[in-house]
Chain A
Amino acid sequence: MVNAAAARVANVSRELDIRGVSHSYEYRGAELPVLEDIDLRIRQGEFVALLGPSGCGKSTLLRLVAGLEPPSAGELVFEGAPISGPHPSRVIVLQDPTLFPWRKVAANVALGPEARGVLKRERARIDETLQLVGLANFADAYPHQLSGGMAQRVALARALVNDPELLILDEPLGRLDSLTRLTMQGEIVNLWRRAGFTVLLVTHDIEEALLMATRIVVLSERPASIKADIRIDKPYPRHRGDAELVARRQEILELLGFAAAW
């Protein structure tokens, strides 16, 4: 008896398990399938990039993982418990920073601790986290005063201050200029390597996925299903000219149907 319980506890694997998940939206009275039978297992500490054609349902999958909606079919299990709603251990960063314009930068970062009623205890963490993303001097600025890259760094800090197990990134660098983008790709990888959380990143930039992820999951057109699951075992920092990455890139382009174009 006791042994069985202990075994079960040990068995509570620190992983995200997406089991046969399908999802559809109602659109003009008809069911519009978005995800079809997704099976995906992500171990603690992995950096998984979801790649797929635009509008294929990548973001929907992220919403399900974040617990913002329940799936139409299937089950999502995180660290042994089914996902039934949002939780600060799984925080999301969107393409738009969606900072609250009426809050200063520090107050935006404090949102999570404040919502959970632990703001007093975590006060120091907020400054630390702002420092981590290089914005310690901007604690008193309002969001509309920030550049796009700075705003996205604040959004990242707002997520990280909660010590998430899983960081869900929905095209977080999609709207940034290419130089800021390069810088932040490196920064996110560094933060991930230091803190050891799991990252689930949606992107439509193959190069970004190759430079950042340990694993790339290629999705099909809507309704999305998994087309390929590619492991990238390359040390960081990676170089875009690396022969293996270039070969992988070609492989993924072909999977996405762009073989001829390149």
Chain B
Amino acid sequence: MTLSSALLQRRESSAAVTFPPRRLYEAGLSWAAAAAWLANAFIILRWPDLGDWGRGPECAYFGGALVVLLSLSGALRLFGVEKLVRLRRATPWLLALGLFFSIWEATTAKLGWLPQPFFPPPHAIVEVFTDDWRKLLESVVASVKLELLGFVLGASAGFVIGVALGRSKLFGYWVHPVLRLIGPLPAIAWLPIVFFAFPSSWSASIFLIGLTSGFPVAVLTWSGVAGVNTAYYDIARTLGASRWFLIFKVAIPAALPQVFVGLFMGLGASFAVLVTAEMMGVKAGLGFYLQWAQGWAAYANMYAALIVMSAMCTSLVTLLFKLRDRVLAYQKAELQW
């Protein structure tokens, strides 16, 4: 037996005892994340708060649950058991969050390094969710109602205008210059006059949200309709299509991918108007809640409202994407001959 083959054999036999490096690394990551959350729990429970904030223990217990799960996941990984796979995929994030919350707790509630009351500790924000959820819920319902009403009205108007611009020269002659003039103007600029001209700040806000979302929808619908392959029209006309058929069964379906780009842009732009309108005049909604929280220097409430607002906006965008994927399903059919 040569020296090299002896070495090879040794390496093989030792591999049976030790764990593969990849598994070791992932198990270590899980335990590091568990350690971070354990530290977070200890910081919350054993280190006295400088101020008066609630829900600390609850946060610590939640962290404790994560510690148990992460430790278990690490052990399972080490022995190659394919369980808790989703938790494993989230482990790097959980490690980062554990460290982040620990530092956040320490620098706010415990050391007071960050100026108060502007930077409340995480468990103060949790307290807002557990103790003021009713008001947050009312606010988000009011916001969604206002947003959807304004968006649906504005987007519908924009869509009709866009189709008409794409199909009628006369309509274009009169409407195009107006669109050029008014469209790019930020809707907020109308605030001073709109709150006076409308019967309520609520209806004024619907108008502003509609204006903001309607413009991109109009422009993109128009460009979509104008860009329809003219051969589609030729084919449809020789098959006996009427003017209405050309609009509803040719122009609009062909333009829909563009329309959805416009809807997405309009929705994004309308969020800014929604919050501004709620801060300036409407006495309900998340924007109003933000304003109110700031007035009372209740910054934990403000952060909680920001979190809810972000969830609301993301959900609405996701909803729009779901709708698009459904309507434009034909673009995604796989299997080709």
Binding site for B on A (CB under 8 A): 63, 66-68, 85-88, 90-92, 94, 96, 98, 100-104, 111-112, 114-116, 138, 141-142, 144-147, 150, 158, 162
A91 touches B239 (CB 8 A): yes
Specify the chain B residue showing the minimal Cβ separation from A116. B240
Neighbour of A162 across the interface among B232, B239, B242, B250, CB < 8 A: B239
Taking CB atoms, residues of chain A closer than 8 Å to B232 are 98, 100
A98 touches B231 (CB 8 A): yes
> Secondary structure at chain A's binding surface: helix, strand, loop or mixed?
loop
B196 at the interface (CB under 8 A from A): no
Q: How far is the CA of A138 from the CA of B237 in the complex (A)?
A: 25
Taking CB atoms, residues of chain A closer than 8 Å to B317 are none
With A142-B330, A144-B336, A145-B337 already in contact, the answer to whether A102 and B238 are too (CB < 8 A) is no
Q: How far is the CA of A102 from the CA of B249 in the complex (A)?
A: 10
Among all A-B residue pairs, the 6 with the closest Cβ atoms:
A112-B239, A115-B241, A88-B240, A116-B240, A86-B238, A86-B237
Taking CB atoms, residues of chain B closer than 8 Å to A162 are 239-240
Neighbour of A94 across the interface among B235, B239, B333, CB < 8 A: B235
Specify the chain A residue showing the minimal Cβ separation from B327. A102
Q: Number of B residues contacting the other chain (C-beta, 8 Å)? A: 25
Q: How far is the CA of A260 from the CA of B21 in the complex (A)?
A: 76
B87 at the interface (CB under 8 A from A): no
A68 touches B231 (CB 8 A): no
B253 at the interface (CB under 8 A from A): yes
Measured CB to CB, the closest approach of chain A to B19, in angstroms, equals 48
Residue interface bits B228-265, CB-to-A below 8 A is 1, else 0: 01011011111111100100011001101000000000
B333 touches A144 (CB 8 A): yes
Taking CB atoms, residues of chain A closer than 8 Å to B189 are none
Taking CB atoms, residues of chain A closer than 8 Å to B330 are 101-104, 142, 144
B238 touches A67 (CB 8 A): yes
Neighbour of A145 across the interface among B239, B249, B335, CB < 8 A: B335
Neighbour of A112 across the interface among B229, B240, B242, B250, CB < 8 A: B240
Measured CB to CB, the closest approach of chain A to B289, in angstroms, equals 43
With A94-B235, A96-B231, A115-B236 already in contact, the answer to whether A102 and B336 are too (CB < 8 A) is no
Specify the chain B residue showing the minimal Cβ separation from A69. B234
With A115-B245, A145-B333, A147-B337 already in contact, the answer to whether A98 and B240 are too (CB < 8 A) is no
A87 touches B229 (CB 8 A): no
A92 touches B240 (CB 8 A): no
B238 touches A91 (CB 8 A): yes
* Most A-side CB within 10 Å, residue of B239, B250, B253, B254: B239
Taking CB atoms, residues of chain B closer than 8 Å to A102 are 253-254, 256, 328, 330
Q: How far is the CA of A114 from the CA of B245 in the complex (A)?
A: 9
B234 touches A92 (CB 8 A): yes
Taking CB atoms, residues of chain B closer than 8 Å to A85 are 237
With A102-B253, A115-B245, A142-B330 already in contact, the answer to whether A92 and B336 are too (CB < 8 A) is no
Q: How far is the CA of A94 from the CA of B238 in the complex (A)?
A: 12
Taking CB atoms, residues of chain B closer than 8 Å to A116 are 239-240
List, sorted by A's number, 16 A–B pairs whose CB atoms are closer than 8 Å.
Answer: A91-B239, A98-B231, A98-B235, A100-B250, A102-B256, A103-B330, A112-B240, A115-B239, A115-B241, A115-B242, A115-B249, A116-B239, A142-B333, A144-B333, A145-B335, A146-B336
Q: How far is the CA of A98 from the CA of B237 in the complex (A)?
A: 13
A111 touches B236 (CB 8 A): yes
With A101-B330, A102-B253, A102-B254 already in contact, the answer to whether A92 and B238 are too (CB < 8 A) is yes
A88 touches B254 (CB 8 A): no
CB within 8 Å of A: which B3-33 residues: none
Q: How far is the CA of A147 from the CA of B249 in the complex (A)?
A: 24
Q: How far is the CA of A142 from the CA of B232 in the complex (A)?
A: 16
B235 touches A92 (CB 8 A): yes
Measured CB to CB, the closest approach of chain B to A53, in angstroms, equals 23
Taking CB atoms, residues of chain B closer than 8 Å to A115 are 236, 239-242, 245, 249
Taking CB atoms, residues of chain B closer than 8 Å to A63 are 234
Measured CB to CB, the closest approach of chain A to B330, in angstroms, equals 5
Taking CB atoms, residues of chain B closer than 8 Å to A158 are 235, 239
With A100-B254, A102-B254, A142-B330 already in contact, the answer to whether A87 and B337 are too (CB < 8 A) is no
Measured CB to CB, the closest approach of chain B to A70, in angstroms, equals 13
Q: How far is the CA of A112 from the CA of B256 in the complex (A)?
A: 22
Measured CB to CB, the closest approach of chain B to A205, in angstroms, equals 22
Taking CB atoms, residues of chain B closer than 8 Å to A68 are 234, 237-238
Taking CB atoms, residues of chain B closer than 8 Å to A138 are 337
Taking CB atoms, residues of chain A closer than 8 Å to B245 are 114-115
Q: How far is the CA of A96 from the CA of B249 in the complex (A)?
A: 20
A145 touches B256 (CB 8 A): no
Measured CB to CB, the closest approach of chain A to B271, in angstroms, equals 30
Specify the chain B residue showing the minimal Cβ separation from A93. B235
Taking CB atoms, residues of chain A closer than 8 Å to B239 are 88, 91, 111-112, 115-116, 158, 162
* Most A-side CB within 10 Å, residue of B232, B256, B330: B330
Taking CB atoms, residues of chain A closer than 8 Å to B335 are 145
Taking CB atoms, residues of chain B closer than 8 Å to A67 are 238
Contacts A86-B238, A102-B256, A116-B239 supplied; 19 other A-B pairs, CB < 8 Å: A66-B238, A67-B238, A88-B238, A92-B238, A94-B231, A94-B234, A100-B232, A101-B331, A102-B330, A103-B253, A111-B235, A115-B239, A115-B240, A115-B241, A115-B249, A138-B337, A144-B331, A144-B333, A162-B240
